[in-house]
A and B are shown apart, each in its own frame.
Chain A
Amino acid sequence: MSGSLAFVFGLPLAVVVFFFGLAAYERRTGVATGGGFFQRNGLPIGLYLVLAVGFWAFFIILLPQLAMVDMSFRPKLPPSQMGGPKDLYTLENYRYFLFGSTTSTEEWNWLHIKAFFLTIGVSIVITLINFAICYPLAFHMAQSATAARLRVLLLLLILPYWVNEILRAFAFRVLLSSGGIINQMLMGGGLTSEPIDFLGADVGLYMGLSYAYLLMMIFPLYNAIESLDTNQVEAARDLGAPWWHIHAFIVLPHAKPGIASGCTLVFMLTAGALAAPLVLGGPRTLWFTPIVYDRFYQAFNWPQGAAYAFILLVSCILFVLVVLKAFRLSLGEITR
């Protein structure tokens, strides 16, 4: 156990020493010009910068992630046996995700696998739908709205997002419940004689998820399209380009970083959403995050929960990499 403590303190130290070594080397070989870090900032400020960022990067970001990955490869043990002879690295938690408990008769752990792929698939579909919903409005806001109308639109867009995520999901429950206003209208209009179970059919969940992250799509799109020179659109129009040509060959290529940024954000947030599935999901709803949650607080199997969380994290990272590759962008361009 003392080995891991040495790692916890040794890693940040090693990285900081490496950084200053690199800086000293670059100065000596003349790659870098100007004074050293502490010379440039003064000792007190320099210390503050290094300590604040060091604490953040290591103790808040990196080490917790490493601890989670480490735990996911360990067996579930009572605290007294942790670090003991039985505390060996194992793939048991990942095996469980694929094949289920050793006593189960099923060949594969279909419940969890299905929930996982459903979550990823639905998140992709919701991302695309949100893009389709948001694009026209973002284009209008960026290219043809007057300043006064833009202010009103921005206010209307931001307003719902001051309301908590859980409350937003709750609003959909009020709206779609069997006695809710949608069912009343459908029945009043004679379209259906019995209330439709929107929530049981997961319609509520998918609508709530799409609703929850609309804003994360519209702002990156708006920012990207706004920087497009209107003259380019005008020129294309004067040269006789049909409207869909203008969008496909001028606006969309220009807005590429914004599209990638919006899509990654919406996908990440949807795949990792916990509030909406808890509030809008029925007992038979398949969604991956509540399963992860239950590993911790119902099965009390933390290593397994860590493994499930790691699976989710890896698939999200893969998704971002694929999007970046497909759009030929760097990470810096989409996190602006």
Chain B
Amino acid sequence: MKPGPFQRVMFALYAAVFFLYLLGPLAVMAVSAFNTPQYPQVWPIEGVTLDWFSALFADQDMMTGLKMSLWIGLLVVCISVPIGLAGAIIMTQIQPRVRSLYYLVVVSPVLTPGIIIGISTVVFWRQFTGQTGTRFLYDGVVLTVLGQASFISAYCMLIILARLQRFDRSQEEAALDLGASYPQVFRHILLPFLKPALASAAILAFLSSFENYNTTTFAILSDKTLTTVLAGRVRQGSTPAISALAVVIVAVTIIGAIAYEIAKRRTDAAAARRQRAALEAEEAELSGTPAAAMG
């Protein structure tokens, strides 16, 4: 495709406006985190300060909320990834005539508004724990984990399912023919094949849990997570400490993204090296010089 110069200019203009809209608000907020006035202000810059960052880390509620969010995120990963894996495996095995009903049920939380998931989780578990005498389970952390697990498990399932559909069942059959037991096949054939999908599902699960607000605000009851504390702070009034939090999150994200990219390039390079070595070995074998294959 070769767009004309006019189209090109128009597109560049559009892209500039688009990214200004996308990144501008964050840039403005970031600047206000370093400016001295009490109210988040961008211009004029009255003085550069890091006070808002120390105010942020001195905020006890915020730090307790952060710990709670990290803890809930880990629990959600521990629940959602196994459920998503089971959901994906069942999806490939279930009878075709009930598959679409099953799909509808397990994907529905993705399309349900978050507050409704939060509300229904609280309503159900309040009744259930009351009637079965397990009141200790009626707890903010438990409910939040269950509520978030409903849709995060579905995300995990969709990610794992995408990879599972490329799985070659003959590998499994070969292992069974060679005398492996079912748990062994699962452990040594299926899980290693799904490993990349499981890892991305775990990362996505943690991040979705960490930044969730709509479901959490209902399900958390009297406890506090980072997002609910944050919502309270923002409603009380604006302070640059909130901007400082955004700056910290973006900085952590960028560092994480770079680390991930480096790690990925390294494993890609290693895989490419292995493949090259295997090819060379094969060629050496074909040309009939065993010595070269050894080298």
Whether A associates with B in a native complex is: yes
**Which residue numbers of A lie inside 8 Å of B, CB to CB?**
1-2, 4-5, 8, 19, 22-23, 26, 32, 37, 40-45, 48-49, 52-53, 55-57, 59-68, 71, 133, 136-137, 140, 143-144, 155-157, 159-160, 162-175, 177, 179-181, 184, 211, 214, 230, 233-234, 237, 264-265, 268-269, 271-275, 278-279, 289, 292-293, 296, 302, 305-306, 309, 312-313, 316, 320, 330-332, 335-336
Interfacial chain A residues near B235, Cβ < 8 Å: 278-279
Interfacial chain B residues near A67, Cβ < 8 Å: 120, 123-124, 127-128
Complex: chain A residue closest to B102, CB-CB: A57
B183→A44 contact, CB < 8 A: yes
Interface 1/0 per residue, B244-265 and A, CB below 8 Å:
0110011001100100000000
- Residue B105, interface by CB 8 Å: yes
A131 → B minimal CB distance (Å): 14
Could you list 18 examples of A-B contacts with CB < 8 Å? A41-B93, A43-B182, A48-B82, A52-B86, A53-B90, A64-B124, A136-B14, A162-B249, A162-B250, A166-B227, A167-B242, A167-B249, A175-B28, A181-B28, A184-B43, A272-B115, A305-B119, A331-B107
A60→B149 contact, CB < 8 A: yes
Interfacial chain A residues near B108, Cβ < 8 Å: 61
Closest A-B pairs by Cβ, 10 of them: A42-B182, A272-B113, A52-B86, A67-B124, A64-B124, A171-B25, A64-B120, A68-B120, A162-B253, A171-B29
* Interface secondary structure of B, over-half rule: helix
Flag the segment in B194-202, B210-218, B269-277 that touches A.
B210-218
The CA-CA distance from A66 to B115 in the complex, in Å, is 15
B103→A331 contact, CB < 8 A: yes
A17 → B minimal CB distance (Å): 14
- Residue B178, interface by CB 8 Å: no
A171→B246 contact, CB < 8 A: yes
A19→B98 contact, CB < 8 A: yes
A159→B253 contact, CB < 8 A: yes
The CA-CA distance from A32 to B14 in the complex, in Å, is 55
The CA-CA distance from A32 to B86 in the complex, in Å, is 21
Interfacial chain A residues near B36, Cβ < 8 Å: none
Interfacial chain B residues near A68, Cβ < 8 Å: 116, 119-120, 123-124
Chain B interface size, as a band, is 35 or more
B127→A4 contact, CB < 8 A: yes
- Residue B64, interface by CB 8 Å: no
- Residue B68, interface by CB 8 Å: no
Interfacial chain B residues near A52, Cβ < 8 Å: 82-83, 85-87
The CA-CA distance from A232 to B214 in the complex, in Å, is 43
Tally of contacts, chain A with chain B, CB under 8 A: 256
Known contacts: A32-B95, A230-B1. The answer to whether A49 contacts B124 by CB under 8 A is no
Interfacial chain A residues near B111, Cβ < 8 Å: 264-265, 268, 316, 320, 335
Complex: chain B residue closest to A140, CB-CB: B11
B100 → A minimal CB distance (Å): 7
A26→B42 contact, CB < 8 A: no
Contact of B105 among A37, A57, A155, A184 (CB under 8 A): A57
List residues 66-122 of chain B with CB under 8 A from any CB of chain A. 82-83, 85-87, 89-90, 93, 95, 98, 100, 102-117, 119-121
Flag the segment in B16-24, B54-62, B278-286, B287-295 that touches A.
B16-24
The CA-CA distance from A37 to B230 in the complex, in Å, is 47
Complex: chain B residue closest to A295, CB-CB: B119
A144→B82 contact, CB < 8 A: no
Interface 1/0 per residue, B28-41 and A, CB below 8 Å:
11001000000111
B200 → A minimal CB distance (Å): 14
Complex: chain A residue closest to B3, CB-CB: A144
Contact of B115 among A59, A230, A265, A292 (CB under 8 A): A292
18 extra interface residue pairs, beta carbon distance < 8 Å, beyond A162-B207, A163-B250: A1-B131, A41-B89, A41-B186, A44-B182, A49-B86, A56-B149, A140-B11, A144-B1, A156-B19, A159-B23, A164-B211, A170-B29, A171-B26, A211-B25, A268-B111, A268-B113, A309-B120, A313-B116
Complex: chain B residue closest to A68, CB-CB: B120
- Residue B15, interface by CB 8 Å: yes
Interfacial chain B residues near A313, Cβ < 8 Å: 112-113, 116
Known contacts: A23-B95, A144-B3, A165-B213. The answer to whether A61 contacts B110 by CB under 8 A is no
Interfacial chain A residues near B230, Cβ < 8 Å: 164, 166-167
B47 → A minimal CB distance (Å): 17
Interfacial chain B residues near A57, Cβ < 8 Å: 102, 105-106
Known contacts: A156-B23, A163-B250, A268-B111. The answer to whether A64 contacts B121 by CB under 8 A is yes
Interfacial chain A residues near B245, Cβ < 8 Å: 167
B144 → A minimal CB distance (Å): 12
The CA-CA distance from A331 to B102 in the complex, in Å, is 12
A55→B14 contact, CB < 8 A: no
The CA-CA distance from A292 to B120 in the complex, in Å, is 13
A285 → B minimal CB distance (Å): 13
- Residue B48, interface by CB 8 Å: no
B115→A289 contact, CB < 8 A: yes
Interfacial chain A residues near B218, Cβ < 8 Å: 296
B70 → A minimal CB distance (Å): 14
B89→A275 contact, CB < 8 A: no
Interfacial chain B residues near A330, Cβ < 8 Å: 100
The CA-CA distance from A175 to B246 in the complex, in Å, is 14
Contact of A60 among B1, B14, B146, B238 (CB under 8 A): B146
Interfacial chain A residues near B146, Cβ < 8 Å: 59-60
Contact of B182 among A45, A64, A293, A309 (CB under 8 A): A45
Known contacts: A157-B22, A309-B119. The answer to whether A48 contacts B86 by CB under 8 A is yes
The CA-CA distance from A162 to B251 in the complex, in Å, is 10
The CA-CA distance from A56 to B106 in the complex, in Å, is 8
